[in-house]
Amino acid sequence: MYVLHKGVKHVNQFLPFTNHWLILVASIPVSLSCGTLFAYSVYATQLVKQCHLDTSQSANLNISATIGSAFGAVFSGLVTDYYGTQLPMLISSLTTGFGYLWLYIQYNLGEDSSLWQLLGSMFLIGIGSVAGYFSSIKAVTVNFPNFKGTAQSITIASFAISSLIFSAIATHIFKGEAGPFIGFLSIACGLMIFIGFVFIRVDGYIDHTPVIIGEIEEIDETSDETSTIESSATETDRLLGNSKDQEIRLKQSSIDDLKHKSLRDTFLHPVFWYHYVILAIVQGLGQMYIYSVGFVLKALHYYFTRVVPPDVNSSIPSLIHLQALHVSIIAVASFLGRLTSGPASDFFVHKLHSQRHWVLIIGLSIMLTGHLLNSILIDIVALDLRTVNIYLSIASALIGYAYGFSFASYPAIVSDLFNMKNYSFIWGAMYTATTFGLTLMTKIFGYVYDGNTTKWDDKAQEYVCAKGSACYNLSFQITAGLCILAMVQILGYIYYRAYKTT
């Protein structure tokens, strides 16, 4: 790895000039490309049919991508912190491009495709989807120390809107043909992430010698390198902004001295695990709904078309149409949530001189509203599927926005609390909480839904849930309780920090 690092340093002599604004702009195509991992549903159905996969094998492709992203988060975090951002960008470009190319080859083989090769391609795509993305987040964080939340929100929002943009490309340019679309991804994603390799050049602490002038670290614009990573906790403190902000942060830092702790001490510290649990709940609340909204719509659609006789004078929207609609609502709402989260968190810190954690309280309050809406037996109140769809669209918009708004604040919170020298690895390790939160809440939803799926449908040749919103409302009552638990947990931490700094 060191040899590759030295080779990259040599190549940098021939690369164009960069600065913090170019780094921010370059993070957008990187995030868009990395976000294509969640465009899997665009081609999944055709891939399964073309390669003759069963349901279990199809699910294993998702699992393989998830494992790849978890591995990529931790591995790329270490590489980013130690060697800088360019090696992870190069890894991301190669693994994403080759992963889609490998998937394209297997797709064209059809029935002769190999399951393990399909799994391997999805694993590489999973690695690439976080390696470049997380490196971009660190790069904009250290290049915009006074407005890290705002800068991060642009990068994170680009990742969120990616699936919607590439879905439109697949539909309107490739006319829904999965094969050519996957081939396009293999070229486009590799090239777009390579833009990050060219412009997102932030040193690791293996070879960084910062120059400090006043309170802000100087970026040498005559050089090909952007010197932006802190070499010590003292220098990190100098990046904290104006004197009043710095005074507040220094007081908070003196409580447990987290910014001075080693990796080992950080992972053993209760503050890390406190936030780990919070992130697990925040991510689980949002992602559970994203993965489960299709089942919610299926239950309501069945109820209003098969159990309750529909109005013969009104047209009934298809289940596929409803699912596509809500996926779009959630994607757009999440994008807007991520885009507004950063400025809001910076406003709390720099204008109100308060804690960034208040953004989580706002986000979870909106999230709680959405989950409570789904905990109500809406088919008792509404008379037809169209009215129910309007009601559910509001819930989808609220949960999507809250999910994006809450999650986007977390990278900045991590950078506020912990040692920036190991930021990428700490953030990557904390991100693994997503797996546990999602697993817990999808299990809750699945247990409740399956418990109500007791009616055999002769036409569909499967057991279905014919109870409408009663199929799932209990699960949202439980998740609403978990949402309140997370809010209490965050308020407790806010009080703890405020009490200790007075």
Tokens, residue 360: 């989580």
Query: Two tokens at 255?
Result: 């409580």
**pLDDT-derived band at 186, boundaries 50, 70, 90:** very high
Q: Residue 51: how many CA atoms within 13 Å on its side-chain side?
A: 28
Alpha carbon distance 410, 152 (integer Å): 10
The helix (H) or strand (E) run that includes residue 332 is: helix 319-346
Q: Which position has the higher pLDDT, 302 or 25?
A: 25
What is the rounded average pLDDT for all residues in the chain? 81
Total number of domains constituting the chain: 2
Q: One-letter amino acid identity for 80?
A: T
Last residue of a domain, one of 167, 199, 231: 199
Judge residue 158's burial from the number of C-beta atoms within 10 Å of its C-beta, 0-12 exposed, 13-18 middle, 19 or more buried. buried
For residues 384 and 314, is the Cβ–Cβ distance under 8 A? yes
Cβ atoms of 303 and 468 closer than 8 Å: yes
Q: Cα 358 from chain centroid?
A: 20
Which of 184, 199, 214 is the endpoint of a domain? 199
State the Cα–Cα distance between residues 243 and 249, nearest whole angstrom. Answer: 10
Tell me, yes or no, whether 90 lies in a domain.
yes
Sign of the dihedral through C-alpha 41, 45, 51, 57: positive
- Which stretch of DSSP H or E encloses residue 160? helix 148-172
Q: What is the CATH number of the domain that holds 156?
A: 1.20.1250.20
HSE-up (13 A, CA, CB side) for residue 218: 9
Q: Are residues 189 and 273 in the same domain?
A: no
Q: Write down which residue in 199, 223, 238 finishes a domain.
A: 199
Residue 480 and residue 473 in contact, taking contact as beta carbons nearer than 8 Å: no
Q: Which residues in 89-107 are b (16+ Cβ under 10 Å) and which e? A: bbbbbbbbbbbbbbbbebb
Letter string b/e over residues 267-294, b meaning 16 or more CB atoms within 10 A of that residue's CB: eebebbeebbebbbbbbbbbbbbbebbb
Residue 241 forms part of a structural domain: no
pLDDT bin (cut points 50, 70, 90) of residue 403 is: very high
Domain that holds residue 277: 264-500
Q: Which long-range contacts (CB under 8 A, 24 or more apart) does 451-457 make?
A: 457/306
| Contact assessment for residue 367 and residue 398, using Cβ atoms and an 8 Å cutoff | yes
**3-state SS, residue 214:** coil
Residues, the chain = 502
Say what the pLDDT of residue 147 is: 81
**Which secondary-structure segment (H or E) carries 456?**
strand 455-457
For the stretch 22-33, pLDDT in tens is: 999 999 999 999
| Same domain for 473 and 335 | yes
The answer to whether residue 208 is domain-embedded is no
Q: Is the pLDDT of residue 340 over 80?
A: yes
Whether 166 and 273 share a structural domain: no
Residue 247 located in a structural domain: no
Q: What is the pTM of this model?
A: 0.75
| 303 vs 398 pLDDT, higher one | 398
- Look at residue 245 and tell me whether its pLDDT is greater than 70: no
- List pLDDT tens digits, range 93-115: 999 999 999 999 999 998 888 88
| Confidence at residue 227, expressed as pLDDT on a 0 to 100 scale | 40
| CA–CA distances in Å: residue 268 to residues 263, 265, 461 | 9, 5, 52
